[in-house]
């Protein structure tokens, strides 16, 4: 393991506690905030240098350092200085550490700097770089995504001159700063997802981590410690095999790489388009595409190469392969199952198993399908319908008594009635025709059907003939006829009608014939 070079103040404190006060190595390590092995190494070096406690009064820190670390170079005999720009680029590669680079440096220059000096010199060289350059982003590890604050006006109607502002999506690679950008109409979820799809295709691979800002399209619940990604965005990450680690709220440094990328896009691309007029989003994106090539090919000011060359060297080889096909946008929504065992999505009603009534479920909708999930298990699936206020209902989702009711149709009732007789058929036809909707007569017809069991089909047919004769086509009338045995009596003879006085207050003989059975004023219980 490399030797940790301590400050001389820390060395003096360790030696005082260990030799002067006789504390154990463990207590010295705890008091000085260092490891126990560091204490052992410090004491060993001091003993080999012939030192004891107390240290000589005139022993300067510089002299003490030269005694403890004799391999440190003197000002007049500097070892070869590494190419720090090369070190900075190499440390971004996956699995490459400063320790490995120092070992390679020592193999080439045995008398070169020790590890602690190597790290210190590199830190001194990197200090003047921008803060984003000091972050050690590994190749293929992070992709930073955000929207530019600046928008671009697009004329959407040549006749009226109506203008609409286009949003600018920016994605920047952590290691190479290679950048993708495009214009979209909104920052809403569909545009956010499709921009990610096009960014993945642009880079030709997948980064391990997506780092968005706390935009609602990406993060449904912003939190310092446990941010919650939007369900659709999480599904996109799962599709590509990436993870989402949003920037902390209010901490722009977490996404400093894309902040610099956004600034570069605004200065090098959008600024050049400020005096141009665009009449479509496609036209604007074509202009952005041409300038984006030049932006990525532009050389760095403080590092060798360009964004493109560093991408080809660092990020591209480390990216994961793209999956087959881009992610298909799916919208997610929480919904409560209504008492009619349906949920509503986009104004349309979709059925779920009736046992979930009152439960909370997740709805996942694409352009073609709607899936309902409970506890991460799919419980229902429907073809998506855009007809608002309509229902998509599956029979298997219904309770048993609802299924049975659904199976009845006017044709089925008439087929059954035909097996009983013509009078029964006419009664069923009359009931169905007398309702504004045939289904309103289903329960009356079903009740009449069941009368054939206790009374027999012959008596039921006779009861229907009497009901037709006295014009009382209802379930209650036929029940009354059967209960009173009126079906066994002969039908009343009807003499030829003779001229009579017609007046609305004269009841006529039909009124008295109808007194044999209850009046039809009592409606069926539909």
pLDDT, one tens digit per residue, over 255-311 is 566 678 788 888 888 888 888 889 999 999 999 999 999 999 988 876 778 889 989
pLDDT over 70 for what percent of the chain?
A: 80
Q: How confident is the model at residue 5 (pLDDT cuts 50, 70, 90)?
A: low
Helix (H, G, I), strand (E, B) or coil at 453: helix
Residue 506 in this model has a pLDDT that exceeds 90: no
Compute CA distances 306 → 21, 128, 179, 300, 303, whole Å: 58, 19, 11, 5, 8
Q: Which of 133-142, 179-188, 344-353, 503-512 is least confident? A: 503-512
Q: What is residue 524's predicted lDDT score, i.e. its pLDDT?
A: 35
Contact 197, 163 (CB under 8 A): no
Q: Which sequence spans correspond to the domains of the chain?
A: 8-68, 84-128, 142-318, 331-400, 408-516
List the one residue out of 203, 97, 192 whose CA is nearest residue 143.
203
pTM: 0.48
Q: What is residue 116's predicted lDDT score, i.e. its pLDDT?
A: 79
48: exposed, middle or buried (Cβ count in 10 Å: 0-12, 13-18, 19+): exposed
* Per-residue pLDDT reduced to its tens digit, 32-73: 778 888 888 888 888 888 888 888 877 887 788 888 877 544
**Token pair of 503, please?**
């007046």
List the one residue out of 338, 328, 356 whose CA is nearest residue 236.
328
Contact 440, 475 (CB under 8 A): no
CA 223, CA 128: separation in Å to the nearest integer?
33
Residue 501 in this model has a pLDDT that exceeds 50: no
List the one residue out of 36, 91, 476 whose CA is nearest residue 310.
91
CB atoms within 10 A of CB 419: 10
* Per-residue pLDDT reduced to its tens digit, 487-500: 888 886 655 444 44
* Per-residue pLDDT reduced to its tens digit, 391-401: 888 878 877 76
* Per-residue pLDDT reduced to its tens digit, 125-142: 777 654 444 456 788 888
Spatial strand order in the sheet of 377-383: 331-336, 360-365, 369-374, 377-383
Average pLDDT value for the chain: 79
324: exposed, middle or buried (Cβ count in 10 Å: 0-12, 13-18, 19+): exposed
512: exposed, middle or buried (Cβ count in 10 Å: 0-12, 13-18, 19+): exposed
Name the CATH superfamily housing domain 142-318: Ribonuclease H-like superfamily/Ribonuclease H (3.30.420.10)
pLDDT over 90 for what percent of the chain?
A: 18
- CATH no. for 8-68: 1.10.10
CA 422, CA 426: separation in Å to the nearest integer?
6
List the one residue out of 205, 258, 213, 252 whose CA is nearest residue 233.
213
* Per-residue pLDDT reduced to its tens digit, 220-260: 544 433 445 677 888 888 889 988 888 765 555 555 666 78
Residue corresponding to tokens 């004491």: 43
Compute CA distances 431 → 3, 209, 420, 453, 473, whole Å: 99, 68, 16, 20, 6
Q: How confident is the model at residue 313 (pLDDT cuts 50, 70, 90)?
A: confident
Q: Greater confidence, 226 or 84?
A: 84
């Amino acid at each position: 393991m490399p030797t940790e070079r301590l400050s001389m103040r820390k060395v003096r404190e360790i030696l005082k506690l260990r030799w002067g006060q006789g504390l154990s190595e463990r207590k010295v390590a705890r008091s000085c905030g260092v490891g126990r092995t560091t204490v052992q190494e410090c004491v060993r070096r001091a003993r080999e240098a012939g030192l004891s406690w107390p240290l000589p009064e005139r022993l300067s820190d510089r002299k003490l350092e030269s005694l403890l670390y004799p391999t440190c170079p003197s000002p007049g005999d500097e070892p070869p200085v590494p190419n720090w720009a090369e070190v900075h680029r190499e440390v971004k590669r996956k699995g490459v550490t400063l320790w490995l680079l120092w070992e390679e440096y020592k193999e080439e220059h045995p008398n070169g700097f020790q590890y602690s000096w190597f790290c210190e010199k590199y830190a001194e060289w990197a200090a003047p770089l921008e803060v984003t350059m000091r972050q050690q982003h590994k190749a293929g590890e992070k992709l930073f995504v955000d929207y530019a604050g600046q928008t671009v006006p697009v004329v959407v109607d040549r006749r009226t001159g109506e203008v609409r502002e286009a949003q600018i999506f920016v994605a920047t690679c952590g290691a190479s700063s290679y950048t993708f950008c495009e214009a979209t109409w909104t920052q809403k979820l569909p545009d956010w997802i499709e921009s990610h799809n096009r960014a993945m295709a642009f880079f030709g691979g997948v980064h391990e981590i997506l780092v968005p800002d706390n935009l609602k399209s990406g993060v449904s619940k912003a939190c310092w410690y446990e941010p919650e990604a939007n369900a659709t965005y999480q599904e996109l990450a799962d599709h590509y095999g990436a993870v989402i680690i949003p920037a902390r709220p209010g901490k722009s440094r977490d996404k400093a790489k894309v902040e610099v990328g956004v600034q570069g896009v605004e200065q090098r691309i959008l600024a050049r388009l400020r005096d141009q007029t665009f009449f479509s989003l496609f036209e604007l994106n074509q202009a952005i595409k041409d300038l984006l090539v030049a932006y990525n090919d532009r050389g760095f000011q403080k590092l060798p190469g360009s964004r493109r060359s560093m991408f080809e060297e660092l990020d591209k080889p480390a990216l994961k392969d793209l999956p087959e096909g881009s992610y298909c946008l799916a919208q997610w929504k929480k919904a409560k199952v209504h008492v009619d065992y349906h949920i509503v999505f986009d104004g349309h009603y979709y059925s779920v198993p009736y046992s979930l009534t009152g439960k909370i479920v997740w709805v996942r909708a694409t352009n073609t399908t709607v899936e309902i999930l409970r506890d991460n298990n799919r419980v229902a699936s429907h073809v998506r319908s855009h007809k608002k206020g309509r229902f998509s209902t599956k029979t298997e989702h219904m309770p048993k008594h609802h299924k049975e009711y659904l199976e009845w149709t006017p044709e089925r009732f008439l087929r059954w009635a035909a097996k009983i007789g013509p009078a029964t058929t006419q009664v069923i036809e009359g009931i169905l025709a007398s309702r504004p909707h045939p289904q309103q007569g289903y329960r009356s017809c079903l009740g009449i059907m069941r009368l054939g069991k206790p009374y027999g089909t012959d008596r039921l047919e006779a009861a229907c003939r009497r009901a037709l004769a006295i014009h009382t086509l209802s379930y209650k009338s036929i029940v009354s006829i059967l209960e009173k045995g009126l079906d066994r009596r002969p039908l009343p003879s009807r003499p030829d009608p003779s001229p009579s006085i017609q007046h609305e207050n004269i009841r006529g003989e039909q009124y008295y014939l109808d007194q044999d059975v209850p009046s039809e004023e009592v409606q069926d219980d539909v």
